Amino acid sequence: MQGPTPLQGTVRMAGAKNSALKLMAAALMVPGEVILERAPRITDVELMADVLRRLGATVERDGDTLTIDSSGDLQEETPYELVRKMRASIQVLGPLLARLGRARVSMPGGDAIGSRPIDLHLGGLERMGVKFTSQHGYIEGVVQRLKGTRVLLEFPSVGATENLLMAAVLAEGTTVIENAAREPEIQDLATFFQACGARVSGAGTPTIEIEGVEELSPTRHRIIPDRIEAGTFAIGAVASRGDVTLEDMEPIHIELPLQKLEEAGAEVRRSADSVRVRMSSRPRAIDLVTLPYPGFPTDLQPMMMVTLAQAAGSSILTENVFEARFLFVDELNRMGSHIRVEGHHAVIRGVERLSSAPVQVPDIRAGAALVLSGVCAEGVTEVYDGGHIERGYEDFVGKLGSLGADVEVRD
Ligand code: EPU
């Protein structure tokens, strides 16, 4: 890609990846047709469709709509070959235990952003009566009938909250999840379950209460817009000193990122389902800390790093959620940034302009950030292993192109 180009124009947001994946897993608990609208066209959704098919469901796509039918007999095993490609496959654990009373799921390993254990998922499910054994890289869970209980999470893990919520919906009695994650994707999952006849309250707060029901009924659900995609383009507008309007999105879901962009000098105009972000000068240096929602999302930290790398002054960025999310800094420094990492803090000394260099993508979000840095940098930037980006962003290159970026994909 050739830079520097200010991103200018309007982009429409796709459905949220991290909601779609969990809603697809949840569909395993519904004996009948679940229809999910605004399903993003990304590789991870296709991978989750493969997981569901492997478990015995049918999944069909018609445009942006997915139809999932899990009324047939389901299998209990999710093999290594699928979990290895996408760790969100472990979100079928709760649904399989709820539906079949047993599940055998390959243990996910670490990945490019950290070690990522699942102890909180397993600990909570054990409290609901599941007996786990692990052998040959697989974790096997068995339970007669899941029992409602109180679970206090040590950390508000998104994945653990979702697995427990899914298990609790069909459990006997009432489950209370305390210190639950509050991400909008959790609320979306709860809204879906309510439409299926489940009794869930408090999603979006630290205490979620679920009264188990005997069976769920099929429903049609529209997936919330992707707040991380929206945040990526909003930050891209600021990093490239452009003017971008985001449409079909929920401004409130990215309120803190928008406030931080304002602090850095951006002009932000919010309306009911769109936001316009304009930046005409070099960003100001700001400090930033990632935290669970409604804190600043770790998934937008790499893009913010690209922005602050070009700011006037020095910034400190603290990563509290994933230990290895600074690994891509070495790639960014190859493009002329001055960033020093000390533990979970990054000290960023802003430079006037980044300069192009060939760079390698380690994961979805760092990938999007490196492409944005290519848009901002002088000269032609080659980004290798860009396939990671398609896992989580629908038509990223096409959308950037529509905003004026000179980006092309080569095999
Ligand atoms: N953690 C534990 N034990 C557990 C679970 C989590 O120690 O049992 C730790 C993790 O190691 C990590 C922290 O808790 O340090 C947060 O993990 P969390 O469980 O909240 O994250 P996740 O469910 O694995 C989801 C998203 C991520 C996003 C995080 C945080 C999906 C599929 N993934 O992961 O999205 O960064 O929440 O918001 O929903 C992405 O989209 O690129 C992505 C990585």
In sequence order, what are the beta bridge partners of 15?
225
Nearest CA to ligand 1 atom 10: 116
CA of 219 to the centre of ligand 1 (A): 28
389 pocket-lining for ligand 1 (C-beta < 6 Å): no
- SS3 label, residue 292: coil
CA of 321 to the centre of ligand 1 (A): 8
What was the pLDDT predicted at 376?
96
78/266 Cα distance (integer angstroms)? 46
DSSP sequence for 89-150: GGGGHHHHHHHHSEEEEEPP--BTTB----HHHHHHHHHTT-EEEEETTEEEEE-SS-B--E
Nearest CA to ligand 1 atom 23: 159
Instruction: List residues with catalytic annotation.
Output: 111
pLDDT tens readout for residues 213-232: 999 999 999 999 999 999 99
What was the pLDDT predicted at 30?
98
pLDDT tens readout for residues 158-178: 999 999 999 999 999 999 999
CA of 135 to the centre of ligand 1 (A): 24
Q: Are 78 and 51 in contact (CB under 8 A)?
A: yes
What was the pLDDT predicted at 348?
98
Q: Give the pair of three-digit tokens for residue 128.
A: 């609901």
CA of 312 to the centre of ligand 1 (A): 32
Show Cβ contacts of residue 410 under 8 Å, excluding neighbours closer than 6 positions.
none
Report residue 132: phi and psi, to 5°: -110, 145
Nearest CA to ligand 1 atom 5: 118
| Sign for the pseudo-dihedral over CA of 87, 208, 14, 276 | negative
What was the pLDDT predicted at 214?
97
Q: Tell which phi-psi region holds residue 32, choosing left (phi > 0), alpha (psi between -120 and 50) or beta.
A: left
What was the pLDDT predicted at 107?
86
153/49 Cα distance (integer angstroms)? 29
Q: Give the pair of three-digit tokens for residue 234.
A: 């909003």
Nearest CA to ligand 1 atom 13: 321
Per-residue exposure over 279-316, b if at least 16 CB sit within 10 Å of its own CB, e if not: beebbebbebebebbeebbbbbbbbbbbbbbbbeeebe
Cα dihedral 104/106/107/110 (nearest 10): -160
118 pocket-lining for ligand 1 (C-beta < 6 Å): yes
160 pocket-lining for ligand 1 (C-beta < 6 Å): yes
Cis peptide preceding 251, ω within 30 of 0: no
Q: Which helix (H) or strand (E) holds 187?
A: helix 184-195
What was the pLDDT predicted at 110?
64
214/94 Cα distance (integer angstroms)? 16
Q: Say if pTM beats, i.e. exceeds, 0.75.
A: yes
Q: Which of 47, 125, 321, 370 is the pocket-test mutation for ligand 1 (most atoms within 8 Å of CB)?
A: 321
What was the pLDDT predicted at 411?
76
Q: Which atom of ligand 1 is nearest to the CA of 292?
A: 38
216 pocket-lining for ligand 1 (C-beta < 6 Å): no
Say if residue 26 is exposed, middle or buried (CB neighbours under 10 Å; 0-12, 13-18, 19+). Answer: buried
What was the pLDDT predicted at 108?
82
What was the pLDDT predicted at 175?
98
CA of 316 to the centre of ligand 1 (A): 23
DSSP sequence for 26-42: HGGGSSSEEEEES---S
Q: Which atom of ligand 1 is nearest to the CA of 293?
A: 38
118/107 Cα distance (integer angstroms)? 8
Low-confidence ranges of the chain (pLDDT < 70): 109-110
What was the pLDDT predicted at 400?
97
CA of 144 to the centre of ligand 1 (A): 29
